[in-house]
Structure 1
Amino acid sequence: MLQFPLIVVGGSAGRIQPLINLAKGLPADFRAAVCIVIHISAHNPSYFPEILARAGPLPATHAQHLGRIESGHVYCAPPRHHLLIENGHFRITTGPKENGVRPAIDPLFRSAAHQQGSNVIGVVMSGMLDDGASGLWAIRHSGGITVVQDPNDAEYDSMPRSALNHVDADYTVRSQNLASLMIDLVSESAQRRLDIEAAIKEHVPLDPLA
């Protein structure tokens, strides 16, 4: 398991400005990796990593096949490829389309849930139809944290509403508050790790309700 939280984000129509706001709101010392799948045209180059890199302090790139996942980075799925998580690295595939698209959100979410379990924070944002719902369910049932953009805040509410219909999400949030929520969740995760390490060193049972 990675030694830092893995944030996986999926969006479709209406997701650009909220994701720019997310990148803008995250600090330079952010102790998590952010992986993003957005539905993009297979016929045009994607400049989305460059847009995110200009928007905020974190480096943003297209994920590379077998590339190592690093904290403090934003990774985007490349056009025409699914983005998967495997043993702390990326796997880029040209497998069958899911929900009519490639890249699709569900493959990233499912692989993250399988590989990282409770270490994952999954976020479904604005978009049409229902990509991301089953993947968010997998994250929820693997012990991860689930977040959905408030449908009333989304330019296109089908994806957020579908996610909420299938998953009892931990948080429903307006896009303007997403970055601050991520900062809080990552900070809580870091503190939890410190508590576990201290308990192990001192041979003190960790309070499961803490």
Structure 2
Amino acid sequence: MERKATKIIVIGTSAGGMQALCKLLAAVPENLPASVLIVQHLSTDSSAPFLVNRLNQFTKLTCKVARHEEKIEPATVYMAPADRHLLLRDNELLVVRGPRENQFRPSIDPLFRSAAAYHGPNTIGVILTGFMSDGVLGMECISRSGGTTVVQDPSDAEFPALPLNVLRHIAVDHAVELNIMGNLLVELVQEHVSGSVTVPSDIWAEAKIAEKVMTSSTMTSINELENSGERTSYSCPECGGGLWDMSEEGNITRYRCHSGHAFSRESLLTSMTNHVEETLWVALRTLEERRNILLNMSQNESNKGNRRWATMQEEKAEEMKVHIERLRLLLSQSALSDDEQMGEVG
């Protein structure tokens, strides 16, 4: 698919991102001949206007919260609002409450993928400090579409896991510290890209699928998914629907369901693990409630003088206690494992 494109800088970050963004944008001149679009992982109750006001204190660029169907302008920074995805459609912003990707909304991958689809080699993808792997697939889309990939040096990042995940999967063009990244971006946006933009067909197809699902709230047709990917034996942990492998051979594995939820392999595993843990907590609560009912029944039968029936209920309650203790041990071991993993990647 061929598209003409303008210079676009897309930035994705998670934990520690606000401090990194302030430092980065402070080094960028006010006449930057490119638009800057940012996805920072936010909780649903976060205030994007507050964060934008903070950015405005550190940069001469115009910073604003992205608005749906707004046309992008050079020397302007657009930040995704809380609980909304930010995408590009040509030179127009799409701010939508679509299905989560990699368990996040806003998610980095949809922005990067849409920028790669519409702007190809004129796209500059930047990943800063953070946890987990959201943004890795988006960086691959930019790289495969001829764009430029820039990642914060993990040794310079407050939380190096996200930059490390990018470096583990992609041969990026630049891995640099924040204090030189601003000047690097100025140089990159001034570089001339000759010829037309050629975007791989699978990236274009998935960008259009995501755009359709997120803007119209309609599910992806099974035929669309069958034509673009291969059905797997996995279920979506968000909605329970089937998952399709959308990746081309030799590229990073990615999954999508007909409801629009999308995952990298790492985020799918994390989501499945979380779902299992939630199910175990529900089971634990149910078992505890059942044990309490059995103990109450035993006490009532004992008060009536029905010792035989009271003993039977008491024995069932003791059997339930064994299952409860096993579940508690399993959940505590899971929590310890999560803490150890966070320590390794943090």
When normalised by structure 2's length, the TM-score is 0.54
Of 107, 110, 113, the match for 1:107: 110
Of 90, 95, 108, the match for 1:92: 95
Superposed, which structure 2 residues align to 1:21-170 within 5 Å?
21-46=23-48, 47-170=50-173
Q: Deviations over 1:66-87 (max 9, x none)?
A: 0001111001001100000002
SS of the equivalent of 1:55 reads: coil
Q: Is contact 1:134–1:166 with CA below 8 Å preserved after alignment?
A: no
SS of the equivalent of 1:31 reads: coil
Identity %: 39
Post-superposition offset of 1:44: 2.8
What RMSD over aligned residues (CA atoms) do the two structures have, in Å? Answer: 1.3
Q: Distance in 1 between matches of 2:115 and 2:165?
A: 20
Q: Distance in 1 between matches of 2:78 and 2:116?
A: 17
Name the amino acid aligned to 1:17.
Q
Q: Is contact 2:67–2:95 with CA below 8 Å preserved after alignment?
A: yes
Post-superposition offset of 1:28: 1.2
Post-superposition offset of 1:2: 4.0
Structure whose alpha-carbon radius of gyration is higher = 2
> Structure 1 stretches of 5 or more lacking a match?
197-210
Q: Is contact 2:5–2:120 with CA below 8 Å preserved after alignment?
A: no
Q: Distance in 2 between matches of 1:45 and 1:154?
A: 24
- State how many pairs are aligned: 191
> Structure 2 stretches of 5 or more lacking a match?
196-346
Post-superposition offset of 1:117: 0.3
SS of the equivalent of 1:37 reads: strand
Post-superposition offset of 1:185: 0.8
Name the amino acid aligned to 2:43.
S
2:30 matches 1:6: no
Q: Is contact 2:5–2:118 with CA below 8 Å preserved after alignment?
A: no
Q: Is contact 1:18–1:176 with CA below 8 Å preserved after alignment?
A: no
1:201 corresponding residue in structure 2? none
Superposed, which structure 2 residues align to 1:174-185 within 5 Å?
174-185=177-188
Name the amino acid aligned to 1:124.
I
Q: Distance in 2 between matches of 1:154 and 1:2?
A: 31
Which stretch shifts more, 44-53 or 69-78? 44-53
When normalised by structure 1's length, the TM-score is 0.88
2:17 corresponding residue in structure 1? 15
More helix by share: 2
Comparing both chains, which one has the higher relative contact order based on Cα–Cα distances under 8 Å and sequence gaps of 6 or more? 1
1:186 corresponding residue in structure 2? 189
Post-superposition offset of 1:98: 1.3
SS of the equivalent of 1:179 reads: helix
